[in-house]
């Protein structure tokens, strides 16, 4: 090849052609350095015929490529995935490529990673935790984090052991392979239902063809053990596996389970890795050496050499939807990646999205069901508590029947979980003297009081300020009052009612790192916690056999906004949190505090009838021509200048095309009309399934010119609006 088409890492540009100098070897996928004006940019060589719209220049005006990086080329399936993602989500291809090469700087990073290995010397002082850690770790070597995990202790304990000489650092080259998971290390005895499901997955993995699955089983049905068999089969076949998890807090329990089954932890990929760790992972992934990778959304765009299976666990989770930069849904991109790679994709969930169920109904996805809980554990009984007829006392939030149930649980030495999806102490803080409310200076949002840290915080942009002693408006002292409950306030009530109970508050404020999450799990498992008070973070993944009671403080919270997915989200959240109750031998009970006993979703929850919920919800979507039947796209126009944002939105709205099967609503101020200091307006596009809505929007926006400083982002299949 003497001429190469290169997609540079600069979102403003399309692909450009370069000359390949004599003696340089490139192929599609090669990562190269190319000149652009006075600058040098990294890019990837694409097929010469790709990107029809690429500008071409005559041979004599071509500039030379400067270098080829010492890294494996980006494989063809990943190049196709990048093209598809850019096309479908209306994003510049270079912006998608940037996600795939996010770790590229790591290639230039340090060539060694520091691991620790046991010296065999006894530490200066023995504690129970140290003994346990040393026993469990045995002769193993690893990163502090991995050793802590295997040892079942916090990072600090491992660091202490290093200091006291029981472990020594070893420099490991980033070319050192990761230990291989052993598919036959500790296979479980599967139930009959599990075996049948596993056999189906194993057959699909061995066939090495694309097949999307929905693994649909109630919470505690043993879905993980089932897809572990599919993973084992891929490993035996020498192929790689990607497991996507919705939340970094879930990584740790996953790694632990994986280690028990396969004898070693998988390679994890997340934002907390150091450059050198990234470099090592990247190389092992692109060479095919890393067999199993677990990660968040970003792991989808890594250059796997031989992907044989993708698993999306808790596939209904909204955190798979990326809301800034390239707006994409990792669940849907995962299915597309499976198609490109020619491998099966398993979406596992106890509460699949309506969209996913629909794919099953129209025959695109294969549904594998696990109807009962593993080991015959009963599904918890769900009881509705009508707050209108049986309200809590003034200034309290836990209604009398729930108080009584907690009394009983504590008496029996079991554990309870109180769920409220609101961080902080109170959602709204105001001055009782003048009525002043605290609003975020950057966003259209109220500041939320956090008593644990004595701060007011914006949950949208992260702006924080110390909770003031005097009202900034009227100067009255100690006049601030909290309105409504957050988890911290519920924890206060718990402390007042059950002063001897041991309580843990679980939110992203308290479980901000994998180590904190691991500590939390240990303390609940070890029986050091009686009552957990938490947000959605506690609804997923955890398995606490002694937890027998769940109280939902406000089941109506998610229904208030009234957006398209309000019922679905409420249903999923409550089923998931209910699923934490009674997972062991003792049966579980769930109390739903509600003012809407008659709402369809609440009735279905109390009846334990998910089919009824899905049928009703699907029907109402069909009538509204909402997803999965019709489709939406949002066009968000933002600028720091409020007039400019409004003006551009009006301009774009005015030039909306008239197309059969497509309606355009707005512009109107976006739900958060000011976010991080940018004023936001929105147009909403509603179209039929048959219409190529991307093509329509591409042409439409291509014809409008707006001022620089104004950003126009398209959100195809927006999650909420």
**Are 635 and 652 contacting, i.e. CB atoms less than 8 angstroms apart?**
yes
Given its phi and psi angles, is residue 364 left (phi above 0), alpha (psi -120 to 50 degrees) or beta?
A: alpha
The residue among 130 and 580 lying less far from ligand ADP, judged by its C-beta, is 580
Q: What is the DSSP letter of 121?
A: P
Quick check: bond before 667 cis, omega within 30? yes
Q: Is 442 in the site for Zn ion (CB under 5 A)?
A: yes
Find residue 216's DSSP bridge partners: 349, 369
Could you tell me which stretch among 141-149, 458-466, 561-569, 618-626 binds Zn ion (CB under 5 A)? 458-466
Q: Is 447 in the site for Zn ion (CB under 5 A)?
A: no
Q: What's the CA gap between 82 and 328, in Å, rounded?
A: 12
Q: Which residue from 451, 455, 460, 650 is in contact with Zn ion, where contact means CB under 5 A?
A: 460
The residue among 509 and 525 lying less far from Zn ion, judged by its C-beta, is 509
Q: Is 440 in the site for Zn ion (CB under 5 A)?
A: yes
Given its phi and psi angles, is residue 376 left (phi above 0), alpha (psi -120 to 50 degrees) or beta?
A: left
**Least spacing, CB of residue 511 vs Zn ion, in Å:** 22
Which of the choices Zn ion, ligand ADP, none does residue 220 contact, using the CB cut-off of 5 to 8 A by kind? Answer: ligand ADP
**Are 116 and 168 contacting, i.e. CB atoms less than 8 angstroms apart?**
yes
Task: Put the strands of the sheet holding 39-46 in their side by side order.
Answer: 16-19, 3-8, 39-46, 31-36, 67-68
Q: What is the DSSP letter of 71?
A: S
Q: Which residue from 117, 159, 463, 711 is in contact with Zn ion, where contact means CB under 5 A?
A: 463
Which of the choices ligand ADP, Zn ion, none does residue 513 contact, using the CB cut-off of 5 to 8 A by kind? Answer: none
Q: Is 458 in the site for Zn ion (CB under 5 A)?
A: yes
* CB-closest chain residue to ligand ADP: 222
Residues that bind ligand ADP (CB under 6 A): 188-191, 194, 217, 219-225, 374, 543
**Least spacing, CB of residue 345 vs ligand ADP, in Å:** 17
The residue among 190 and 685 lying less far from ligand ADP, judged by its C-beta, is 190
Tokens 């209904």, residue located: 316
Q: What's the CA gap between 572 and 316, in Å, rounded?
A: 8
Q: What is the DSSP letter of 528?
A: -
Task: Put the strands of the sheet holding 503-506 in their side by side order.
Answer: 381-386, 589-594, 547-552, 415-419, 531-534, 503-506
Phi, psi of 368 (to 5 degrees): -120, 120
The residue among 527 and 561 lying less far from ligand ADP, judged by its C-beta, is 527
**Are 213 and 344 contacting, i.e. CB atoms less than 8 angstroms apart?**
yes
Which of the choices ligand ADP, Zn ion, none does residue 374 contact, using the CB cut-off of 5 to 8 A by kind? Answer: ligand ADP
**Are 175 and 309 contacting, i.e. CB atoms less than 8 angstroms apart?**
no
**Least spacing, CB of residue 221 vs ligand ADP, in Å:** 4
Cα within 13 Å of Cα(467), Cβ side: 22
Tokens 């294969």, residue located: 366
**Least spacing, CB of residue 584 vs ligand ADP, in Å:** 9
**Are 211 and 344 contacting, i.e. CB atoms less than 8 angstroms apart?**
yes
Which of the choices Zn ion, ligand ADP, none does residue 600 contact, using the CB cut-off of 5 to 8 A by kind? Answer: none
The residue among 150 and 197 lying less far from ligand ADP, judged by its C-beta, is 197
Tokens representing residue 685 in the block? 């596009």
Phi, psi of 37 (to 5 degrees): 55, -135
**Least spacing, CB of residue 225 vs ligand ADP, in Å:** 4
Q: Is 455 in the site for Zn ion (CB under 5 A)?
A: no
**Are 31 and 73 contacting, i.e. CB atoms less than 8 angstroms apart?**
yes
Q: What is the DSSP letter of 183?
A: T
- Burial class of residue 61, CB neighbours in 10 A (0-12, 13-18, 19+): exposed
Could you tell me which stretch among 452-460, 489-497, 646-654, 698-706 binds Zn ion (CB under 5 A)? 452-460
Give the residue numbers of the binding site: 431, 434, 440, 443, 458, 461, 471, 474
**Least spacing, CB of residue 374 vs ligand ADP, in Å:** 4
The residue among 186 and 695 lying less far from ligand ADP, judged by its C-beta, is 186
Which of the choices ligand ADP, Zn ion, none does residue 225 contact, using the CB cut-off of 5 to 8 A by kind? Answer: ligand ADP
Q: Is 398 in the site for Zn ion (CB under 5 A)?
A: no
Q: What is the DSSP letter of 439?
A: B
**Least spacing, CB of residue 533 vs ligand ADP, in Å:** 22
Which of the choices Zn ion, ligand ADP, none does residue 223 contact, using the CB cut-off of 5 to 8 A by kind? Answer: ligand ADP
Q: What's the CA gap between 627 and 621, in Å, rounded?
A: 7
Which of the choices Zn ion, ligand ADP, none does residue 217 contact, using the CB cut-off of 5 to 8 A by kind? Answer: ligand ADP
Which of the choices ligand ADP, Zn ion, none does residue 443 contact, using the CB cut-off of 5 to 8 A by kind? Answer: Zn ion
Q: What's the CA gap between 648 and 667, in Å, rounded?
A: 10
Which of the choices Zn ion, ligand ADP, none does residue 496 contact, using the CB cut-off of 5 to 8 A by kind? Answer: none
**Are 97 and 9 contacting, i.e. CB atoms less than 8 angstroms apart?**
yes
Find residue 430's DSSP bridge partners: 437, 481
Given its phi and psi angles, is residue 625 left (phi above 0), alpha (psi -120 to 50 degrees) or beta?
A: left
Could you tell me which stretch among 257-265, 272-280, 439-447, 701-709 binds Zn ion (CB under 5 A)? 439-447
Tokens 């408006």, residue located: 473
- The size of the chain, in residues, is 721
Q: Is 444 in the site for Zn ion (CB under 5 A)?
A: no
Q: Which residue from 339, 461, 495, 626 is in contact with Zn ion, where contact means CB under 5 A?
A: 461
The residue among 103 and 194 lying less far from ligand ADP, judged by its C-beta, is 194
Which of the choices ligand ADP, Zn ion, none does residue 353 contact, using the CB cut-off of 5 to 8 A by kind? Answer: none
Strands (E), 271-394: 292-295, 307-313, 344-349, 366-370, 381-386
Which of the choices ligand ADP, Zn ion, none does residue 442 contact, using the CB cut-off of 5 to 8 A by kind? Answer: Zn ion
The residue among 319 and 442 lying less far from Zn ion, judged by its C-beta, is 442
**Least spacing, CB of residue 625 vs ligand ADP, in Å:** 34
Give the residue numbers of the binding site for Zn(2+): 431, 434, 440, 443, 458, 461, 471, 474
The residue among 441 and 561 lying less far from Zn ion, judged by its C-beta, is 441
The residue among 221 and 479 lying less far from ligand ADP, judged by its C-beta, is 221
The residue among 249 and 684 lying less far from ligand ADP, judged by its C-beta, is 249
Q: What is the DSSP letter of 436?
A: -
The residue among 200 and 423 lying less far from ligand ADP, judged by its C-beta, is 200
Q: Which residue from 144, 158, 443, 504 is in contact with Zn ion, where contact means CB under 5 A?
A: 443
**Least spacing, CB of residue 218 vs ligand ADP, in Å:** 7
Residues in the site for Zn ion, rule: CB under 5 A? 440, 442-443, 458, 460-461, 463
């Amino acid at each position: 090849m003497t001429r190469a088409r290169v997609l540079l890492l600069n979102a403003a540009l399309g692909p450009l052609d370069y000359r390949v100098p004599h003696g340089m070897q490139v192929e599609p996928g090669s990562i190269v350095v190319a000149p652009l004006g006075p600058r040098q940019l990294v890019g990837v060589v694409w097929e010469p015929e790709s990107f029809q719209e690429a500008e071409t220049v005559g041979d004599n005006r071509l500039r030379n490529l400067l270098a080829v990086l010492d890294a494996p080329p980006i494989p063809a399936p990943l190049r196709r995935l990048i093209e598809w993602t850019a096309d479908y989500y209306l994003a510049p291809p270079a912006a998608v490529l940037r996600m795939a090469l996010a770790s590229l700087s790591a290639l230039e990073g340090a060539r060694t990673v520091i691991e620790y290995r046991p010296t065999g010397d006894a530490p200066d002082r023995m504690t129970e935790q140290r003994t346990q850690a040393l026993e469990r770790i045995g002769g193993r070597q690893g990163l502090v984090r991995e050793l802590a995990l295997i040892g079942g202790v916090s990072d600090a304990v491992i660091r202490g052991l290093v200091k006291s000489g029981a472990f020594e650092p070893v420099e490991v080259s980033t070319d050192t392979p990761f230990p291989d998971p052993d598919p036959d290390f500790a296979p479980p005895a599967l139930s009959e239902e599990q075996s049948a499901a596993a056999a189906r997955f194993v057959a699909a993995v061995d066939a090495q063809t694309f097949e999307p699955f929905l693994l649909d089983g109630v919470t505690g049905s043993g879905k993980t053990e089932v897809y572990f068999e599919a993973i084992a089969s891929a490993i035996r076949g020498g192929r790689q596996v990607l497991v996507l998890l919705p939340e970094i807090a879930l990584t740790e329990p996953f790694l632990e389970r994986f280690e028990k089954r396969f004898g070693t932890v998988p390679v994890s990929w997340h934002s907390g890795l150091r450059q050198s760790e990234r470099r090592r992972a990247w190389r092992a992934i692109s060479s095919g050496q890393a067999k199993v990778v677990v990660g968040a959304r970003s792991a989808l765009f890594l250059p796997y050499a031989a992907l044989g299976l993708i698993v999306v666990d808790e596939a209904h989770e909204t955190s798979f939807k990326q809301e800034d930069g390239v707006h994409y849904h990792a669940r849907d991109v995962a299915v597309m990646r499976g198609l490109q790679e020619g491998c099966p994709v398993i979406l596992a969930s106890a509460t699949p999205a309506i969209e996913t169920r629909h794919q099953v109904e129209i025959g695109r996805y294969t549904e594998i069901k696990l109807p009962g809980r593993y080991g015959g554990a009963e599904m918890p009984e769900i009881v509705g508590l009508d707050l209108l007829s049986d309200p809590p006392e003034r200034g309290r939030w836990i209604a009398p029947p729930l108080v009584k149930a907690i009394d009983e649980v504590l008496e029996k030495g079991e554990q309870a979980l109180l769920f409220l999806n609101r961080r902080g102490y109170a959602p709204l803080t105001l001055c009782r003297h003048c009525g002043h409310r605290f609003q975020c200076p950057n966003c259209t949002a109220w500041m939320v009081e956090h008593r644990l840290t004595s701060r007011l915080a914006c949950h949208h942009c992260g702006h924080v300020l110390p909770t003031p002693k005097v009202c900034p408006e009227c100067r009255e002292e100690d006049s601030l009052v909290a309105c409504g409950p957050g988890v911290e306030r519920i924890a206060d009530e718990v402390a007042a009612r059950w002063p001897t109970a041991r309580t843990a508050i679980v939110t992203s404020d308290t479980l901000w790192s994998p180590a904190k999450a691991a500590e939390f799990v240990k303390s609940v498992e070890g029986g050091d916690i009686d009552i957990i008070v938490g947000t959605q973070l506690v609804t997923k993944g955890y398995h606490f056999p002694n937890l027998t009671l769940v109280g939902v403080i406000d089941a109506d919270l998610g229904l208030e906004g009234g957006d398209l997915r309000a019922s679905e989200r409420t249903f999923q959240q409550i089923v998931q949190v209910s699923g934490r109750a009674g997972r062991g031998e003792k049966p579980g009970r769930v109390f739903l505090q509600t003012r809407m006993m008659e709402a369809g979703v609440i009735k279905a929850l109390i009846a334990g009838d998910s089919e009824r919920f899905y049928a009703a919800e699907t029907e109402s979507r069909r009538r509204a021509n909402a997803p999965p039947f019709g489709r939406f796209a949002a066009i968000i126009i933002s600028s720091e200048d409020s007039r400019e944002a409004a003006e551009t939105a009006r301009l774009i709205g005015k030039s909306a095309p008239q197309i059969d099967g497509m309606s355009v609503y707005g512009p109107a101020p976006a739900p958060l009309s000011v976010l991080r200091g940018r004023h936001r307006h929105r147009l909403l596009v509603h179209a039929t399934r048959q219409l190529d809505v991307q093509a329509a929007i591409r042409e439409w926006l291509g014809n409008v010119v707006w001022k620089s400083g104004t950003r126009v982002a398209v959100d195809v299949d927006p999650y909420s609006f």
